Chains A and B, each alone.
Chain A
Amino acid sequence: MNIYVLMKRTFDTEEKITISGGKINEDGAEFIINPYDEYAIEEAIQVRDANGGEVTVVSVGTEEAEKQLRTALAMGADKAVLINTEDDIENGDQFTTAKILSEFLKDKDADLIIAGNVAIDGGSGQVGPRVAEILGISYVTTITKLDINGSSATVVRDVEGDSEVIEASLPLLVTAQQGLNEPRYPSLPGIMKAKKKPLDELEIDDLDLDEDDVEAKTKTIEIYMPPKKEAGKVLEGELEDQVKELVKLLHTEAKVV
């Protein structure tokens, strides 16, 4: 099985977000593998271990994503590819990223492509399905279970809490939802081995793309913080009275019930 994983480097979920100069302030922030992509990497490793083959993790980003790609290799992926857009693209969007990834993937004969269902920073959830469409393969998003049987797959898709059991043929792209698996931590031998595993770096020129081909269709004009919430009212007195007061406040002051 020829398996590819689409990975994004994101802010650690523990990070507080601040803005400076109209941009999200990245100074001193910790970065991680997007948590949903971690499920994707884990699943790819499990599928490979069960069916044979090779796992390649690919990321579009800057040189700094090498660290997260090495982590993916330490978890057990076989190869990593960084498509470094630092010099070529300032403000890409999902069109941009999907176009670059598909251009990279189009001659790779992937049997299975796994991505996270959404990145916790941008939160658009577009890149996976866009890549599948451009490559002309089918996809299933937000999956919680994947069984490969030869050239077909049985997938469980989470649909707002309900589950759909879906059959599809390979090649297939799936996006990972929480509950798919429990991602492993890289082991010490894994980390040692990862240093020797191939991590290739490409630029969009290597994919015969130029900046115009991948120019974003949308643009961010402003980033701002939501208004800070005032600390609320902690009620006092006998519990029963507090409850009565709360219901009254919700009914007459907040008017939500």
Chain B
Amino acid sequence: MARKVLVLGEVRDGSLRNVSFEAVAAGKTASEGGEVVGVLIGDSVSALANGMIHYGADRVVTVEDEKLKQYTPDGFSQALMAVIDSESPDGLIFGHTAMGKDLAPKIAAKLESGLISDVTSLEEAGGNLVFTRPIYSGKAFEKKIVTDGLLFATIRPNNIAPMEKDESRSGDVASVAAEIKDLRTIIKEVVRKASEGVDLSEAKVIIAGGRGVKSEEGFEPLKELASVLNGAVGASRGACDADYCDYSLQIGQTGKVVTPDLYIACGISGAIQHLAGMSNSKVIVAINKDPEANIFKVADYGIVGDLFEVVPLLTEEFKKLKVNA
């Protein structure tokens, strides 16, 4: 069944986040030959519209207003509802990001629709669009379908491959007028903590530290390795509880669930709650002094040794690789 699917793009620091292109690809699958319409909301976003078209959107609709400079649930839902009213879509796809997680349930409640969150793949099967998503933090998976109304899903970053970028693709870019008013939550200040380095949920490479890192300073070699690999630094609960790092870095059943291409666990024993947050990574490397550590059971490659010796050596080796590449 050909459908019209709206895909909400996400802008950060003046450019489109990768998950926007992944969402376009998901929208393409969900549209089954229908139309994929990109939606961009912000104070000045129309210049980015072609980016969504290059990655496969048929056209883009924008809503621009100075009150939409920062994301708020009221502002963005007013803008999006104006687009939904004018487009009457059959489907909606957002990224399962801080913004998507916050906004999608509000829109679903407004439309009295279902919503399938945190989808890692979708496919047409037996006349249904089937969404796959992790449950119990990735200890199991479920397949879900929509039984009534709108197809609405948020997709997990880093799991659905974007389409090939094609700059010769073109499409219509139009703006929709929306009255943005009565914002009930006001952002007074944004404190950037994560701005140094790469966002954990979208990182292709994650270097994570556990109790074995021993101190806040102990994260330094991990940070250096991360910067050589253009990756992000994460942590186990043990490291966060011991105050070696901020809870925003925590990976696990409580904390972030990540699926990078490469996960390097340094001084992490591998408690079941931590494994739930990272065991679906494509390739896992474990570095631990204890050869019996649980983490080796899920690792593709392991080195038994002191992370303070191994990590700097690794950093040097990767630097050489980069120079030779």
Chain A contacts to B: CB under 8 angstroms: 11, 13-14, 16-17, 19, 24, 35-36, 93-95, 98, 120-130, 132-134, 138-142, 144, 154, 158-169, 177-179, 215-226, 229, 231-235, 239-240, 242-244, 246-247, 249-251, 254, 256-257
**Complex Cα gap A257–B113 (Å):** 42
Task: List the one stretch of B23-31, B60-68, B180-188, B213-221 in contact with chain A.
Answer: B180-188
Most chain B CB neighbours (cut-off 10 Å) among A134, A138, A163, A218? A218
**Complex Cα gap A158–B85 (Å):** 31
* Partner pick for A222 among B134, B143, B255, B303, CB 8 A cutoff: B143
Specify the main secondary structure of chain A where it touches its partner: mixed
Determine if B106 is an interface residue (Cβ-Cβ < 8 Å): yes
Q: How close is A43's CB to chain B, nearest CB, in angstroms?
A: 15
Closest residue on chain A to residue B190 by CB atoms: A164
B304 and A234 contact, CB distance less than 8 A: yes
Query: B232-253: contact bitstring with A at CB < 8 Å (1 yes, 0 no)?
Result: 0000000000000011111001
Q: How close is B145's CB to chain A, nearest CB, in angstroms?
A: 6
**10 sampled A-B residue pairs with Cβ under 8 A:** A123-B136, A130-B106, A139-B185, A159-B190, A163-B190, A167-B188, A223-B135, A232-B300, A246-B301, A254-B300
A166 and B185 contact, CB distance less than 8 A: yes
- How many pairs of residues, A versus B, come closer than 8 Å at their CB atoms? 267
Closest 6 CB pairs of A and B: A217-B114, A161-B194, A133-B109, A138-B184, A161-B248, A129-B105
* Partner pick for A160 among B104, B109, B200, B273, CB 8 A cutoff: B200
Chain B contacts to A: CB under 8 angstroms: 73-74, 97-98, 101-102, 104-106, 108-110, 112-118, 128, 130, 133-149, 184-195, 199-201, 204-205, 229, 246-250, 253-255, 257, 261-262, 272-273, 276, 279-280, 282-286, 291, 296-305, 309-310, 313-314, 317-318, 321
Most chain A CB neighbours (cut-off 10 Å) among B114, B145, B261? B114
B143 and A239 contact, CB distance less than 8 A: no
Closest residue on chain A to residue B128 by CB atoms: A221
Q: For A220, what are the chain B residues with a Cβ–Cβ distance below 8 Å?
A: 142-144
- A-B contacts besides A139-B106, A233-B300, 15 pairs, CB < 8 Å: A94-B108, A123-B133, A129-B73, A130-B109, A160-B200, A162-B192, A217-B148, A217-B149, A219-B145, A219-B147, A222-B142, A223-B141, A226-B280, A240-B313, A254-B282
